[in-house]
Amino acid sequence: MTTEFSIDADWDALYIDGEWRASESGDTIDVEDPSTRERIATVPAATESDVDAAYEAAARAHEEWAEAPPARRQAVVEQFGRALRDNADEVKDLLAREIGGSEIMGETSIQIADDHVEEAATLPRRMKGEHAASNVPGKENLVQREAKGVVTVISPWNFPLNLSMRAVAPAIAAGNSVVLKPSTESPITGGLLFAKLFAETDLPDGVLNVVTGRGSSIGDRVASHPESDVVAFTGSTEVGQHVAGLAGENLAVPAMELGGNNAHVVTADADLDRAVDGATFGSFVHQGQVCIS
C-alpha cells in the first residue's frame, strides 16, 4: 500500500517556507536503489535561487520562533517524534531502498534518531541564564542563552536519518530555523522525509526548509550563505575543510564532524573472542561505511 512516506510517493518538490515547490530550473535528480541501480524516485535539483529563497524564509521565520514559549517548542519536537515512530516501518523501508540499509541498520537508525528527538525535546526548558556580579558598582550582568539564528545542516549519505536528526532536532528545539541540504545519494531519508514529518506538527512555516541538489551546483552557496549563522556538516575531512572555510568567511559557527578511524584498545585482561567480535563489528558494520568506525 502506498502512503505519503512510501518510496513511490511524491518526492519531487522542495520544501520552502511551508510549501512544496518545484525547483526554479525544473531539473531533477534520479534516486537509485544501490542494490539494482534501478531508478526508484526523482527529487528536485535546486538552483542557487532556490537556496536563497530557503534562507530568506528561514531568516523571516526565526525571530518569531525564537520567541516561542519553551512549552510550544517542546510540543512541536514531541509531535515530530510521534510522527517518526508512527511511520517507522515506512521509514525503515525508505532506508533499505535508498541507501541499501539492512534491517538492523534501519532499526538502529530509527532508534538513534528517536533518542535525538527525545533529548532535543528537553532543550527548551533547559535554556536558562544567570545573574552575575559586575566589577562596576551598582550593576550586575545578565547571562542568557538564546537561539543563534539560521542553522545550515549538510548531512551525509551513510546514516542520513539520524545524522540529519542530530542537528535538525536540537536546532529547532532551541529556537533556531533550519536550512537542510541532504546528500545527493540520500535526499529523501536525509531531507525530504523531515519535511513530511514536520508537516504533521505545529511547526510554523519557514522554520524548516529542505533543498535537494548536487553539491557541485549549490553546495558552496549553502555553505557560504550570508543568512547562515551556524553550519553543521558531516562528511570527509577534505570537504569539511572547504565547508568550514566558506562558513568562516561569514563568521558563521562551523560545527564539523569529519572522517575518523577510532582506536580499539584491548587490555591484557580482556576476553579476546569478544574483543575480536567487537573489532569486526566496529570495522565492518554497514559495510564499513561509518564515519566514527
Active site residues: 257, 291
How many CB atoms within 10 Å of residue 175?
24
Closest CA to 110 of 40, 169, 46, 161: 161
For 215-262, the DSSP string reads IIIIIHHHHH-TT-SEEEEES-HHHHHHHHHHHHHTTPEEEEE-----
Whole-number Å distance between alpha carbons of 96 and 36: 12
Q: Which amino acid is at 272?
A: L
Whole-number Å distance between alpha carbons of 47 and 13: 13
